[in-house]
């Protein structure tokens, strides 16, 4: 039994079965219906988007026995011969293997002869940009004024290499890369007709891997069927494509936000053990950063295969400047990866370079630089021992309350002051800065966070805040963070308000500056809104 690959078995045989390219289908359909046929058509686009397929379908439309039509019957001898590649009046030429001018002249010698069995003699020249300059010169005159029974269909992936004299003699149609959604739907239709089970997400991954090419997608589907023994699952596709799990990318970005170099090295080691393609890992990181950047400026956006909650979490935890910096470093690192001693070394250096360019602090400092102090704030002492007014030989008796374990400060009032001394970073710092104290006892602290910031809250971050509080107070404390309505400003809100006030004061001061006013008057100048920044 001869097996026919899916790309050939399911090649479209009419405009109705073509996926995408509606702009080209519309133009050709109207031309065929109105009998306004050009003698030369140029189809351009990347690999596997339908250039040769369009040429074959158009050849059917011109030579179908029912007449020139936009809907060939696919039942007559001409249509069947074109489908099977046996139509004598359809001359397909691979320009890459026939670049010499002698080959072109030999081809054109038969142009003057009438078609043998069809209505038109069709020359379908693939990869036409590979022809030599002399070959193009030999083709020009015939291409400009061919006999009425001859049509030229040219296909190329690189139209920039074609002489302008050739381009001006053709109707050019650019075929777009196919959207992943269209490819996914087409693959699903084929598998349903093949009676093969599949998972939707698995087909989505194949569609993205095809990079807009339907032929590549069908070739990957053939490979997936063989790899999974006819039962296409997400896990099998991940193994086949050597794609990286999304959780690894989340952990990498989490470690970057937290500035944990050790975690980054450990994650790289784990990826190496799983034989993950580091180029693919960088591409996935770039894709995630791209989605985060969009989420920071567009509230509702399609995140593709990424987790929407994770995207929102990172968009709040990282500043837009940091996201752009990480993206640029990863982009340059991907280009330089082949130059590294090994892909793993190159990947590690990209991540360490992101750490070297220290991300901006998420929580602005609340004290002046000269007041920075790494030691904890001394806790308040509830009472002081009374000093005797006379000297006595008896040992001084100090009340028990004076030497008991230090008590917790008034967290409701001191949270803004204590927070910087907890030494939190990244998303943990973002979480703490958006909380307020809801309840406080000697052995329990309950913080509240607004529901709109709930994406920052998870067990890992909550435990880090709790450990920081226990280290600061040097005692056992139970921390709970709850979502709910806040009745006071959070440290982050206060900092933002203070920054806004300082900026307004600075703008007012500059506006009132005599020198500035003089320049405005002399040069009819103006201060651009938003141009006054802290240095």
Q: Which of 241, 271, 292 is the last residue of a domain?
A: 241
Q: Structure tokens of 534?
A: 């802290």
Same domain, 485 and 529: yes
Mean pLDDT of 249-272: 90
- For residue 184, being part of any structural domain is answered with yes
- pLDDT score, position 396: 45
User: In terms of residue numbers, what domain contains 423?
Assistant: 362-369+406-535
- pLDDT score, position 361: 42
- For residue 376, being part of any structural domain is answered with no
Same domain, 73 and 153: yes
What value does the mean pLDDT of the chain take? 84
For residue 353, report the phi and psi dihedrals to the nearest 5 degrees: -65, -35
Mean pLDDT of 342-368: 73
pLDDT higher than threshold 90 for residue 43:
yes
- For residue 382, being part of any structural domain is answered with no
172 touches 28 (CB < 8 A): no
Phi-psi region of 364 (alpha: psi -120 to 50; beta: other; left: phi over 0): beta
Q: What is the CATH number of the domain that holds 204?
A: 1.10.8.60
- In the chain, the percentage of residues whose pLDDT exceeds 70 is 87
DSSP single-letter state for residue 129: G
Whether the full predicted model's pTM is greater than 0.75, yes or no, is no
Same domain, 483 and 338: no
pLDDT higher than threshold 80 for residue 1:
no
Q: What is the CATH number of the domain that holds 455?
A: 3.30.300.150
Same domain, 417 and 348: no
pLDDT higher than threshold 80 for residue 152:
yes
- pLDDT score, position 535: 60
- For residue 375, being part of any structural domain is answered with no
Same domain, 189 and 254: no
- pLDDT score, position 109: 85
**Quick count: other Cβ atoms within 10 Å of Cβ 291?**
23
Q: CA 168, CA 338: separation in Å to the nearest integer?
A: 41
The better pLDDT of the pair 119, 443 is held by 119
- For residue 421, being part of any structural domain is answered with yes
Q: What is the CATH number of the domain that holds 109?
A: 3.40.50.300
Q: Which of 322, 356, 390 is the last residue of a domain?
A: 356
pLDDT higher than threshold 80 for residue 302:
no
**Quick count: other Cβ atoms within 10 Å of Cβ 259?**
14
Q: CA 494, CA 318: separation in Å to the nearest integer?
A: 19
Same domain, 81 and 212: no
pLDDT higher than threshold 80 for residue 407:
no
- For residue 388, being part of any structural domain is answered with no
Write out pLDDT tens, residues 120-131: 999 999 999 998
Write out pLDDT tens, residues 461-492: 888 899 888 888 888 888 889 888 887 888 88
Q: What is the CATH number of the domain that holds 300?
A: 1.20.272.10
Mean pLDDT of 61-73: 93
Same domain, 428 and 501: yes
Same domain, 167 and 215: no
53 touches 15 (CB < 8 A): no
- For residue 380, being part of any structural domain is answered with no
Same domain, 39 and 144: yes
Same domain, 469 and 514: yes
In which band, very low, low, confident or very high, does the pLDDT at 534 lie, cut at 50, 70 and 90? low
In which band, very low, low, confident or very high, does the pLDDT at 354 lie, cut at 50, 70 and 90? very high
pLDDT higher than threshold 60 for residue 403:
no
- pLDDT score, position 446: 86
- For residue 399, being part of any structural domain is answered with no
- pLDDT score, position 207: 92
- pLDDT score, position 398: 44
Nearest 5°: CA angle at 128, between 79 and 85? Answer: 20
Q: CA 313, CA 449: separation in Å to the nearest integer?
A: 14
- pLDDT score, position 303: 65
Q: CA 264, CA 435: separation in Å to the nearest integer?
A: 28
Same domain, 214 and 143: no
Q: Which of 225, 241, 257 is the last residue of a domain?
A: 241
The tally of domains found in the chain comes to 4
Same domain, 158 and 270: no
* Range with lowest mean pLDDT among 153-157, 216-220, 310-314: 310-314
């Amino acid at each position: 039994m001869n097996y026919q690959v899916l790309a050939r078995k399911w090649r479209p045989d009419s405009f109705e079965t073509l996926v995408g390219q509606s702009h080209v289908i519309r133009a050709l359909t109207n031309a065929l219906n109105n009998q306004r046929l050009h003698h030369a058509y140029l189809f351009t686009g990347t690999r596997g988007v339908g250039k040769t397929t369009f040429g074959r379908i158009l050849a059917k439309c011109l030579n179908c026995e029912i007449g020139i039509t936009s809907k060939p019957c696919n039942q007559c001898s001409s249509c069947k011969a074109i489908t099977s590649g046996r139509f004598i009046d359809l001359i397909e030429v691979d320009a890459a293997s026939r670049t010499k001018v002698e080959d072109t002249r030999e081809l054109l010698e038969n142009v003057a002869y009438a078609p043998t069995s069809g209505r038109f003699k069709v020359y379908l020249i693939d990869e036409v940009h590979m022809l030599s300059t002399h070959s193009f010169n030999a083709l020009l005159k015939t291409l400009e004024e061919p006999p009425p029974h001859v049509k030229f269909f040219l296909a190329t992936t690189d139209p920039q290499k074609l002489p302008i004299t050739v381009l001006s003699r053709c109707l050019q149609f650019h075929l777009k890369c196919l959207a992943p959604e269209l490819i996914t739907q087409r693959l699903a239709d084929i598998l349903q007709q093949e009676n093969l089970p599949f998972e939707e997400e698995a087909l989505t991954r194949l569609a993205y891997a095809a990079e807009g090419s339907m032929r590549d997608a069908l070739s990957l589907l053939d490979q997936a069927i063989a790899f999974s023994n006819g039962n296409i699952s997400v896990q099998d596709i991940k193994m086949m494509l050597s794609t990286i799990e999304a959780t690894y990318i989340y952990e990498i970005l989490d470690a970057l936000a937290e500035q944990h170099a050790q975690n980054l090295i450990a994650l790289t080691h784990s990826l190496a053990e799983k034989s993950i393609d580091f180029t693919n890992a960088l591409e996935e990181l770039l894709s995630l950063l791209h989605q985060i950047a969009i989420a920071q400026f567009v509230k509702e956006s399609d995140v593709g295969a990424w987790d929407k909650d994770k995207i929102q979490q990172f968009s709040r935890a990282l500043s837009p400047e940091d996201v752009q910096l990480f993206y640029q470093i990863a982009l340059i690192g991907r280009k330089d990866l082949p130059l590294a001693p090994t892909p793993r070394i190159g990947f590690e250096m990209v991540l360490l370079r992101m750490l070297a360019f220290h991300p901006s602090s998420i929580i602005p400092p609340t004290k002046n630089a000269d007041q920075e102090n790494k030691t904890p704030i001394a806790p308040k002492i509830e009472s002081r021992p009374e000093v005797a007014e006379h000297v006595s030989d008896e040992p001084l008796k100090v009340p028990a309350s004076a030497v008991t374990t230090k008590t917790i400060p008034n967290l409701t009032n001191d949270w803004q002051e204590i927070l910087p001394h907890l030494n939190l970073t990244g998303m943990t710092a973002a979480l703490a800065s958006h909380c307020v104290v809801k309840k406080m006892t000697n052995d329990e602290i309950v913080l509240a966070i607004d529901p709109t910031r709930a994406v920052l809250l998870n067990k890992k971050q909550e435990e880090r805040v709790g450990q920081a509080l226990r280290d600061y107070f040097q005692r056992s404390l139970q921390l709970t963070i709850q979502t709910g309505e806040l009745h006071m400003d959070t440290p982050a809100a206060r900092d933002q308000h203070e920054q806004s006030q300082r900026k307004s004061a600075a703008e007012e001061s500059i506006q009132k500056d005599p020198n500035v006013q003089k320049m405005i008057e002399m040069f009819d100048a103006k201060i651009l809104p938003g141009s006054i920044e802290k240095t």
